[in-house]
Structure 1
Amino acid sequence: MIWVMLASFFLLIVFGVPIAFAMGASALMYILVAGIPLEMVAQRFFSNTQSFAFLAIPFFILAGNLMIHGNIAKRIIDVADSMVRQLPGGLGCVSVVTSMGMAGVSGSSVADAASTGSVLIPEMKRKGYTSSFAAAINASSSVVGIIIPPSSTMIIIAWLANLSVAKMFIAGVIPGLLVGLIYLITTVIISVKRGYPRESKPTFMEFLNSIRKAFWALLLPILLIGAIVLGIATATEAAALAVIYALLVGLFVYRSLNLKNIYQSIRETIHGTGVVMITVCTSMIFTWVLITEGIPKMIAEILGSLGLPTWGLLLVIVAIMLVAGMIMELVPNLFLFIPIFFPIATELGMDPIQFSIVMLVTLALGMFTPPVGATLFISCYIAKVGIEKTIKDILPFFVAGIIVVLLVTFMPSLTLWLPGIFE
């Protein structure tokens, strides 16, 4: 029956059923046929959400929405513009740096893709960039939104793997910056080959002025991460404080928030939280069935029987996650792979924090690849270009992302050095 459940799950995905409902329906079918009491489903569905750490997710989403609706994206774009617009492919470089800045504000790749893309993609097209290249840059660079802290995805990983949220946040800083840097280099190389324009060199006063205007927005991630790392507040408490901070800055400093914006932010937060939590709930039932049937143990034994060296086994695990990231959404993949791969990684001597970041960066690449890449869909919609036309432009960024994955996998210091400093 477990194979029937898995087959029905993939069949539902093929027919376009959302991942969360496909997981829930296939697991429910197994439970009904196996004669397991339905009370168990209800208990698994709701009990796993009763976590104090999960309260941080809606707070982080709301804080990010308030900052975005408070016209923060434009201020961060101005900072990025004053830093890198003089490079080849200046506007493309601005897009990458803006995504890195927005990551510390919103914590959401999808939100970053929408807010940054809506401003920069039309401007890039006007300056002569192809629609597919503009969409590719926006879609790929926005994935740093879930790698650079704060990140709701990191909270889910920390909860599933019983890890420290603070350590997860700190461990993601260097890999997130690496992803942004390698995408910046990729953008420059492609722009030189295609002859995309440079913009005028900014003055130092222009740079200082852009920093001054965006100061309160840029201060948020510093205060947030600082409070968590120094033990002043838990992740949930810091997220709640971030909401208050975003409200005060939007209402009284930038004066860009009003009742309409606040209402819209709350609506989007309810929708975003609902999407995340329904996926979490159905994923927990699906994963529980897999664990009950011993599937993680079986997969671990199969991988172990291959007789590969440690580096070879790690490459196989990374390859599996890369493929899965292309065909499934990120959160369900976490629920599937953490029970399977964490014991293997631990047995191989890899630190759980390091493997968590490896998993996060690897699966994040799937967010801008077809057929289910969320940031790719958003970027193509804004650029008014077909997804099939962006594949050629997406490929260099995908390869660059794999380079970062390999670096993070085989160089533990990239993820463990910063957390070690704050221990």
Structure 2
Amino acid sequence: MIGIFVLLLILGMPVAFAMGASALVYILVEDITLELVSQRFLSNTQSFAFLAVPFFILMGNIMVESGIAQRMINVVHAAVRQLPGGLGCVSVVTSMGMAGVSGSSVADASSVGSVLIPEMKRKGYSASFSAAINASSSVVGIIIPPSSTMIIIAWLANLSVAEMFLAGIIPGILIGVAYLVVTITISIKRGYPREERPTLREFATATVKAFWALLLPIVLIIVIVAGIATPTEAAAVAAVYAFLISVFVYRSLDWRGALRAVKGAAYGTTVVMLIVCTSTIFSYVLISERVPQLISDNLLGLGLPTWGIKLALVLILLCAGMVMDLVPNLFIFIPIFFPIALELGMEPTHFGIVMLCALALGLFTPPIGTTLFISCHLAKVKMEDTVKDLLPYFTVGAAMVLLLTFVPALTMWIPNLVNG
């Protein structure tokens, strides 16, 4: 089954279909009733927790269509443009801010990149560096809460969504700040321009204009963490809130834009849920054949020190993120790696965030990095030409993942503080 799956990927079949087809071959050969396939295919879609995914996607699409992304960019531009490589810094910090709005790295890469990449090129930044900044910084979109990917991890590993959201705050900020330092360092070395220092009045004006958008992620997290609403309920309210402020406060969303947002949410949800459905069948086969248990027993039986096993897990996840989409990786590796992590004494929520961060780096690495593909398209540059500029960001990102792995307090401090 795994051999067929790899072959289909090499032949260019989409991951969702490759997973479903290879699992179906196994089921036919083993003469397992096809009723089980249909039941497994649909069962996981009947989840109240997963209902949050389309609402989060819809919220992000509405705010992108209404131009709220531009308002947030204006706030960040007024705050950090005076740093070396000012527009590059704006790209990184805006992606951190947009993470709390869209919850999607792909949405961040598209919305922020479409505004900043042309401007960076006009100011003398190379196309490859502009694409590299946008592609790498946008991965914080699924690490800083709210995040639809966190909801999937929480559902698969039976974790608290609220705790996952809290645990992602410091890691997301750390990775974002690390990328900011890389951007400043490279900009100084290459002599990229600073922008003029903003006035206090300019910053205050930009902040007031974006106030209602900036308020949304803060309220969203507080509502979920305080137990006032479930993530699904909060996501639904957030989508309505985004619509209301876009139409009645900012008056920047027409019915055509609203229709595009709904269509985009329907498309995005379909892609995610199709992968969830086929991944469920694939995972069922792995679990029924005791593959997670066999891998766990063999890895723990190697006699490696605890730090060595943790390092091996992270390296495998980093490599897996380069060759396959994030959601299928979650369905494959959560059943395999979570028992190993628990055996090593790691907190489940801590390991969930480590896994998320490690796999997220694959979003901007060749050959299938989604945010890299979007950024290269916007910058009109070939993917292979960005590798040199991407390398510092991947190296620093991997170092941050290792730091989070071996210093669990960075992940668990806020959840433990809130939970007492």
Same-fold call, TM > 0.5? yes
Aligned-partner SS, 2:346: coil
C-alpha separation in 2, matches of 1:310 and 1:79: 45
1:136 paired with 2:132, answer yes
2:393 partner letter: F
Shift, 1:21, TM fit: 0.5
Give 2:323's aligned amino acid. Answer: I
CA shift, 1:245, in A, is 0.4
1:303-318, aligned counterparts within 5 Å? 303-318=299-314
Per-residue CA deviations over 1:262-306 (Å, capped at 9, x if unaligned) read 100000000000000000000000000000011111111221122
CA distance in 1, matches of 2:197, 2:398: 32
Q: Which amino acid aligns with 2:108?
A: D
CA apart distance, 1:207: 1.1
162, 176, 179: which one aligns with 2:158: 162
- The equivalent residue for 2:290 is 294
Structure 1 residues 214-258: Cα deviation after superposition (integer angstroms, max 9, x where no partner): 110010001100100111100000000001100110011000011
Asked if residue 419 in structure 1 is aligned to residue 415 in structure 2, the reply is yes
Task: Indicate whether 1:182 and 2:195 are aligned.
Answer: no
- Taking the aligned partners of 1:306 and 1:395, their CA distance within structure 2 comes to 32
Matches within 5 A, 1:107-256: 107-256=103-252
Secondary structure of the residue aligned to 1:422 is helix
Counterpart AA for 2:330: L
How many residues matched?
419
Alignment RMSD (CA, Å): 0.6
Aligned partners of 1:75 and 1:322: how far apart in 2?
A: 34
How far did 1:124 drift?
Answer: 0.4
CA deviation profile, 1:112-136 (whole Å, cap 9, x unmatched):
0000000000000001100000000
d(CA) in 1 for partners of 2:347, 2:51: 27
**Paired AA for residue 290 in structure 1:** L
Gaps in structure 2 of 5+ consecutive residues: none
Q: Distance in 1 between matches of 2:171 and 2:399?
A: 11
Deviations 1:41-63 (A, max 9, x none): 00000011111100000011001
Distance in structure 1 (CA, Å) of the matches to 2:52 and 2:164? 14
Which residue of the other structure, out of 48, 73, 77, is the alignment partner of 1:81?
77
Specify the code of the residue in structure 1 equivalent to 2:242.
Answer: A
> Is 1:408 the counterpart of 2:404 in the alignment?
yes
Q: Which amino acid aligns with 2:43?
A: S
Give the share of equivalent positions with the same residue, in percent: 67
Name the aligned partner's letter for residue 196 of structure 2: S
Instruction: Write the distance in 1 (CA, Å) between the matches of 2:225 and 2:255.
Output: 33
Letter paired with 1:388: E
Q: Of 21, 25, 33, which aligns to 1:37? A: 33
Aligned partner of residue 349 in structure 1, secondary structure: coil
Amino acid aligned to 2:9: I
Measure, in 2, the Cα distance between the counterparts of 1:49 and 1:296.
23
- What corresponds to 1:49 in structure 2? 45
Deviations 1:57-98 (A, max 9, x none): 001100111111110110011111011111110000000001
Report the Cα distance in structure 1 between the residues aligned to 2:106 and 2:215, rounded to whole angstroms: 22
Task: Report the AA paired with residue 413 of structure 1.
Answer: A
SS at match of 2:210: helix
Aligned counterpart, 2:360: 364
Q: Distance in 1 between matches of 2:123 and 2:38?
A: 55
| Runs ≥4 residues deviating over 2 A | none
Q: Take 1:152 and 1:324, find their aligned partners in 2: how far apart are those partners?
A: 20
Please tell me whether residue 393 in structure 1 is matched to residue 389 in structure 2: yes
Report the residue type matching 1:370 in the other structure: P
- Counterpart Cα distance in 2 of 1:150 and 1:359: 17
- Once the two structures are superposed, what CA deviation does each residue of 1:112-170 show, in whole Å capped at 9, x if it has no partner? 00000000000000011000000000000000000001100000000000000000001
* Structure 1 gap ranges (5+): none
Q: Deviations over 1:346-374 (max 9, x none)?
A: 01000000000000000000000001100
- Secondary structure, in 3 states, of the residue corresponding to 1:26? helix
The code of the aligned residue for 1:412 comes to P
